[in-house]
Amino acid sequence: MLSFLLIILVSTFFMGIVIRTKSIASGRKGPGIFQPMRDIIRLWKKGAVYSRTTSFIFQIAPTAYFVSVIMAILMIPHANNPGLISFDGDFVMFAYILAFGKFLMIISALDTGSSFEGMGASREALFSMLVEPAFFILMGSFALFTGHTSFHSIFSALHYGSYIAYMLGGMATFVLVIIAMIENSRMPVDDPKTHLELTMIHEVMVLDNSGFDLGLINYTANLKFAMYGAIISNFFISALPIEISIPLFLVIQFIFAIIVGIIESFSARYRMGHNPQFIFILTSVSLLIFFGVLLVLGKFM
């Protein structure tokens, strides 16, 4: 429960820090860190408009997407405190609950009958599919390293006893940061500010969403960023008492948001054909982590 509350707290200002970082990097003051949340609340106060060509799938998809992320967040521990949902192999359920929400968003985009939204949906499905091996190899490697298969048990038993192990933790952090960028359709894979339909991915999927539904989709993206930040933080706070782990959790989330803002400020968007190659790099790094675990355990032959 503690992790859930902290993630909800961070989600209210995470994107504000990202936008503020991008503004400072471009020489502007920028809006306050709570402005994105104010925009979402304003959308929540509006009614949604539905096209006559859409079915009930389009209407329930934003809510199902939001609920799937909430369910996934409930599995994430904080230091020695397990998530509300914790069992052996829970990281598999974590991945596929997120996939369920993404699937509904994809078919809701197809439900509109728009060729542009279908194009964005196919790209979103491709990138999510390419990210999946990297996540499972990463979590499987740490399950092998610790001898446990749940988030809480893995992070509780995680210990760094050599320079190789510290390197593995740094590489895992890199993989999760990039996965978060891809899953939230950010630079360098997607540009959330573009308005050219031929290059849009996530934004073109939600062109027909409005009002409360659009606000729910935007807030879910904030939650996903804070969720991945919480996973990253567990690599560093697993053995700390609560009075230290909570401030450190907030510091890590703050640094994560700044890193996202810096990446978006100083990296150009890749050409669409280069995105799969970029995403495959994550699988390669995850395989390096796997071989590093075998080396630490003395099982590398």
Query: Residue 150 has what pLDDT?
Result: 87
Cα 289–chain centre separation: 20
Reply yes or no on whether the pLDDT at 199 is more than 70.
no
Q: Dig out the tokens for 256 from the structure.
A: 């994560």
Model pLDDT, residue 162: 61
CA distances to 88, 183, 184, 259 from 22, in Å: 40, 20, 17, 10
Give yes or no for a contact between 168 and 158, defined as CB atoms under 8 angstroms apart. no
Whose CA is closest to 67, among 41, 37, 34, 100? 100
pLDDT, position 9: 92
Instruction: In whole angstroms, give the CA distance from residue 147 to residue 190.
Output: 37
For residue 66, pLDDT over 90 is answered with yes
Asked if residue 15 has pLDDT above 70, the reply is: yes
Q: What pLDDT was estimated at residue 239?
A: 73
Phi, psi values for residue 297, rounded to 5°: -80, -5
> Which residue type occupies 94?
F
pLDDT at position 69, please? 93
Q: Mean pLDDT lowest for which of 34-38, 50-54, 142-146?
A: 50-54
pLDDT digits (tens, 9 = 90+) for 134-147: 999 999 998 988 88
Structure tokens at 253: 């989330």
Structure confidence at residue 32 as a pLDDT band (50, 70, 90): confident
Q: How confident is the model at residue 273 (pLDDT cuts 50, 70, 90)?
A: confident
The label of the residue with tokens 């992320």 reads: 69
The pLDDT tens digits for 72-124 are: 999 998 878 888 888 888 889 999 999 999 999 888 888 887 777 778 788 88
Supply the pLDDT for residue 195: 67
pLDDT band at 161 (very low <50, low <70, confident <90, very high): low
Q: Is residue 282 within a helix (H) or strand (E), and if so which, with residue range?
A: helix 275-296
Q: Is 70 exceeded by the pLDDT of residue 226?
A: yes
Q: What are phi and psi of 78, to 5 degrees?
A: -130, 115
* pLDDT at residue 219 tops 90: yes
Q: How many helices (H) and strands (E) does the chain have?
A: 12, 0
Q: Report the alpha-carbon angle 70-221-40, nearest 5.
A: 100
Chain mean pLDDT for the chain: 85
Confidence of residue 149 (pLDDT cuts 50, 70, 90): confident
Which residue's entry shows tokens 């503004």?
A: 23
Q: What is the pTM for the complete model shown?
A: 0.89
Strand partners, 183: none
- DSSP output for 50-65: --TT--HHHHHHHHHH
Residue 191: DSSP 8-state: -
SS3 assignment for 80-91: CECCCCCCCCHH
Query: What angle (nearest 5°) sits at the alpha carbon of residue 6, between those of residues 16 and 101?
Result: 75
Whole-angstrom Cα distance, residue 202 to residue 193?
A: 11
What residues contact residue 263 under an 8 Å CB cut-off, 6+ apart? 181, 186, 187, 188
Token pair of 186 as six digits: 């950010």
Higher pLDDT, 82 or 10: 10
